[in-house]
Chains A and B, each alone.
Chain A
Amino acid sequence: MSQQTVLYEAEYELIKKICDRLVREANAKVVFLVDKNGQLIASSGETAHLDTTSLASLTAGNIAATGGIAKLINEKEFSQIFHEGERDNLHISIIGQRVILVVIFDQRSSLGLVRLRVRKASEELNQVFNVISQKAELPGASPFAEISDDDIDSLFSS
């Protein structure tokens, strides 16, 4: 089976800080980070009214589909995607071939500014994800090594 992604508190804090700063520096509305399987890793900005779970899943689907198209025309991947709306725009980029960074912005910002800030944030995020991958290699205590059949059954008792 494939290995699982484990995100610890320390790295999460670093990621969150980078996303928070990206929201400010890019004048963005929302920034979120998703893994390629559609799991939301972190989000910042005006997320209260947003269905971030669905956004994460659809973004990953979007990237997967675009990646499939890339392969068909002999490209490795399209590392940046831009969707232009009437009010809000979406900038999607792939970081280190493993996670997806999404920035939602409106007329208060511009594609140029977003791209500039995303570039810097991507480098920093990539470093954090290097640490996360290294940690994943280490044998560590998982909360799930200890679960019992009763624990699992109790989820389905209702």
Chain B
Amino acid sequence: MSFINYSSREINCKIVYYGPGLCGKTTNLQYVYNKTSPDAKGKMISLATETERTLFFDFLPLSLGEIRGFKTRFHLYTVPGQVFYDASRKLILKGVDGVVFVADSQIERMEANLESVENLRINLGEQGYDLDRVPYVVQYNKRDLPNAASLDHLRRELNPRGVPDFEATATTGVGVFDTLKMVAKLVLQELRRGSEAPTAAAPSMPPRRGPVG
């Protein structure tokens, strides 16, 4: 749920990186953090275990610049990917404006990816969101690994609706900013759509090809 503050002329939006354990959600945020100029970012917070696995969430506030005199700020969050942290994942999805699903391209992680997408759909549903309606981008990460599944295969399994998707290698940054820019753009377009009169048409969302839940 975006937050518009007329007093400070700011708009804040929340983007959540979702995906199975060890798919690279935190690595995405770390790359963004490392490559963003200090004046455009706040501190990155990682609530992690001693073995560097995300325990609750990572958080990175980013400023993108101004639109019509309003500073646009994006708060990036990751969820803990491990299956047993489901209660925490639900909490982090509260008030989300846009979702990035980070898939692990390795063929043996396909089942974990599918399970995680399904988990995302259910958890969003519990918060009153429909995965087919929220601004949503899919990232196929770890494209550099030799056991990566083909792009066609990943698309078929993980993106039947054909939302914007990107190949990535988050450790070197390939595809990281493309993914972020796209989801930010979709969030802003959704914001515009939400600001229009209720009778107005809704032209700016990506096409929906799947069933509407």
Which of A73-81, A82-90, A117-125, A138-146 sits within the interface? A138-146
Question: Using a Cβ–Cβ cut-off of 8 Å, how many residues does chain A contribute to the interface with B?
Answer: 40
Q: Interface of chain A, helix or strand or loop or mixed? A: mixed
With A37-B94, A54-B59 already in contact, the answer to whether A5 and B4 are too (CB < 8 A) is yes
Are A2 and B181 in contact, with the CB atoms below 8 A? no
Q: Which residues of A contact B188 (CB under 8 A)?
A: 144, 147, 152, 155
Partner of B94 from A3, A41, A57, A64 at Cβ < 8 Å: A64
Interface flags, A8-43, vs B, CB<8A=1, else 0: 110011000000000000000000000111110100
Interface residues of B in 65-84 (CB under 8 A from A): 65, 67-70, 72, 75
The dominant DSSP class at the B interface is mixed
Q: Please state if A57 and B4 are interface contacts (CB–CB under 8 Å).
A: no
Interface pair B12/A39, CB less than 8 Å apart: yes
Interface: B88 (CB within 8 A) = yes
Among B25-33, B114-122, B128-136, B165-173, which stretch is in contact with chain A? B128-136
User: Does B159 interact with chain A (Cβ within 8 Å)?
Assistant: no
Nearest CB in chain B: distance from A66 CB, A: 10
B6, A156: Cβ atoms closer than 8 Å: no
Chain A residues with Cβ under 8 A from B61's Cβ? Answer: 53-54, 57
Does A65 interact with chain B (Cβ within 8 Å)?
A: yes
Give B41-63 as 1s and 0s: 1 = Cβ < 8 Å from A's Cβ atoms: 01101010000000011010100
A residues near B92, Cβ cutoff 8 Å? 61, 64
B57 to chain A: which residues have CB within 8 Å?
Answer: 61
B1 touches A155 (CB 8 A): no
**Which of the residues A2, A139, A145 comes within 8 Å of B128, measured between beta carbons?**
A2
> Which residues in B have their C-beta under 8 angstroms from that of A65?
56, 88, 91
Min distance, Cβ A139 to any Cβ of chain B, angstroms: 7
Cα A35 to Cα B75 in complex, Å, equals 13
Q: Which residue of A lies closest to B180 (CB)?
A: A156
Residues in A whose Cβ lies below 8 Å from that of B64: 155-156
Give complex CA distance A142, B64 in Å: 19
Contacts A1-B190, A38-B75 supplied; 5 other A-B pairs, CB < 8 Å: A4-B4, A8-B6, A37-B1, A153-B185, A155-B65
8 contacts across the A-B interface (CB closer than 8 A): A37-B94, A54-B61, A143-B68, A143-B70, A144-B70, A144-B195, A155-B184, A156-B185
Residues of B bordering A, CB below 8 Å: 1-8, 11-12, 14, 42-43, 45, 47, 56-57, 59, 61, 64-65, 67-70, 72, 75, 87-88, 90-92, 94-95, 128-129, 133-134, 181, 184-185, 188-192, 194-198
Give A contacts to B, CB under 8 Å: 1-9, 12-13, 35-39, 41, 51, 53-54, 57-58, 61, 64-65, 67-68, 139, 142-147, 151-156
